Amino acid sequence: MTSTYTDLPRLMSLMTGDEKHGPAATSTLDALWVLYDRVLRVSPETVDDPGRDRFLLSKGHGPMAYYAVLAAKGFFADALLPGFGSYDSPLGHHPDRVLVPGAEISSGSLGHGLPLGVGTALGLRAQGRDGADGPAVWVLIGDAELDEGSNHEAIAYAGAAGLERLHTLVVDNDSATYGWPGGIASRFEAAGWSAATVDGRDHDALHEAFTAPHPGRPHAVVARVEAKGW
């Protein structure tokens, strides 16, 4: 049984604890919902299908919204949510791909999700699955992850390699230490990416940016949300 967007606050409220990283989670909620509800070609029935889209949560230290959306879409029962972070729960403070149905990677250490996304896109290319109708690879990172050098190496490589099926969603809540002249999107554009910046709470704007054509180039969407701590 699946739920709707209006049920997400209830699902989120089921997860409690001192290490829930609430702002990190809520900043991603709308963008995650639009992806899973309107963009990603993956479902509980197709999690092992070679033709599925891949979603990689690099921002793994705030997985509550991710878990809520997966539960809402039927990847696992919402009865698991109250156990979030407990010793015997599959829903840890960082997602574990072996334990969480639908999770493509185990994540939490900032800066490694986008490099894994590049590797995934290259693997699909090697299999001949990188055509316009092939599986899309989506990676969600936080703006503070751009403090990590590994992401900039991944950005530079993906642009030069023309990894068209690679998409990066940057949730920007003003957590980055350094920032970029001209905004985050300019960093991706300088490396040959297609990029757009949108209101991270506007579902239609997110959907339009997520589905914008970008032939021959990887695509980045910067979702601006309220600053962390507000």
Which residue spans within the chain are E strands per DSSP?
Answer: 54-57, 137-142, 166-172, 194-199, 219-224
Rounded to an integer, what distance in angstroms lies between the CA atom of residue 210 and that of residue 221?
A: 7
Segment 128-175, tens digit of pLDDT: 999 889 999 999 999 989 988 999 999 999 999 999 999 999 999 988
Rounded to an integer, what distance in angstroms lies between the CA atom of residue 99 and that of residue 192?
A: 36
More confident: 229 or 167:
167
3-state DSSP helix/strand/coil percent for the chain, to nearest 5?
A: 40, 15, 50
What are the C-alpha distances in Å from 37 to residues 70, 120, 145, 212?
A: 10, 22, 25, 17
Per-chain mean pLDDT for the chain: 92
* DSSP character at residue 80: G
> What band does 21 get if pLDDT is binned at 50, 70 and 90?
low
Q: DSSP 3-state assignment of 127? A: coil
Please name the helix (run of DSSP H) or strand (run of DSSP E) that holds residue 52, with its range, or none: none
pTM of the model: 0.95
- Amino acid type, 138: W
